[in-house]
Amino acid sequence: MAFELPALPYAYDALGPFMSAETLEFHHDKHHQAYVTNGNNLLKDSGLEGLSLEEVVKQSYGKNAGLFNNAGQHYNHIHFWNWMKKDGGGKKIPGRLEAAIASDLGGYDKFKADFIAAGTTQFGSGWAWLSVKDGKLEISKTPNGENPLVHGASPILGVDVWEHSYYIDYRNARPKYLEAFVDSLINWDYVAEMYEAATK
């Protein structure tokens, strides 16, 4: 199946002032489009053409770096757009997920501190994650386009810490961007949907 660029689930200016229309235009229309275009070119004759995106990511890992990088970033970004919404963030978390954050991660405040720390300490480009592994929530970070799928986990929330995700709005203040993401942008309903799917 060919990779396709999904439409944003909101207007370019919907996430202001925490993420600008300019950032979303460049990030979605240019960067994500490039992962789709390059991924489709690299998918041809790879032997993985008929697989789901998740399987392309898993099976190209460690074997086909170019395809893995672009497929991984395509997967990450499809969800990244949905992990954000206008008036999101904060402690408005659906009950079962909230209970899991309390039992597995020590509660919302500790989750927030540890998630922001993961994003802040990811050297260079990469992502910070909340995932389900062996039935439990865990926080991790990965370089470049890598994601928890290739480490036996199911990502349910991720934040992009490549500079193109925040530099227009926050310059080099990555921790401020991460705080704004957690406090004001997370779409907890979408995270909860992915949590339910990962814990079936």
> What is the pLDDT at residue 1?
76
Report the binding-site residues for Mn(2+). Answer: 27, 77, 160, 164
Structure-token pair, residue 173: 């203040």
Structure-token pair, residue 54: 């998740």
Half-sphere exposure of residue 111: CA atoms within 13 angstroms, side-chain side: 24
Structure-token pair, residue 80: 């990244």
Closest to 27 (Cα-Cα) out of 17, 35, 37: 35
Report the binding-site residues. Answer: 27, 77, 160, 164
> What is the pLDDT at residue 63?
98
Structure-token pair, residue 29: 């229309």
Give the type of residue at 22: E
Closest to 28 (Cα-Cα) out of 88, 60, 74, 95: 74
Range 95-198 has CATH code 3.55.40.20: yes
Q: What is the mean pLDDT of the chain?
A: 98
Closest to 35 (Cα-Cα) out of 162, 157, 175, 136: 162
Task: Tell me the mean pLDDT in the region 78-90.
Answer: 98
Whether residue 112 contacts residue 175, with contact meaning beta carbons closer than 8 Å, is answered with no
Give the type of residue at 65: A
Listed by start position, the domains of the chain span 21-83, 95-198
Structure-token pair, residue 1: 């199946």
SS3 64: coil
Helix axes 188-198, 65-82, angle to 10 degrees: 120
Return the CA Rg of the chain.
16
> What is the pLDDT at residue 109?
98
Whether residue 186 contacts residue 173, with contact meaning beta carbons closer than 8 Å, is answered with no
Q: List, for residues 98-119, the tens digit of each pLDDT value.
A: 999 999 999 999 999 999 999 9
Burial annotation 19-33 (CB, 10 A radius, 16+ → b, else e): bbeebbebbbeeebe
| Domain formed by 21-83, architecture | Orthogonal Bundle (1.10)
> What is the pLDDT at residue 65?
98
> What is the pLDDT at residue 186?
98
What is the spatial distance between Cα 144 and Cα 45, in angstroms, rounded to a whole number? 24
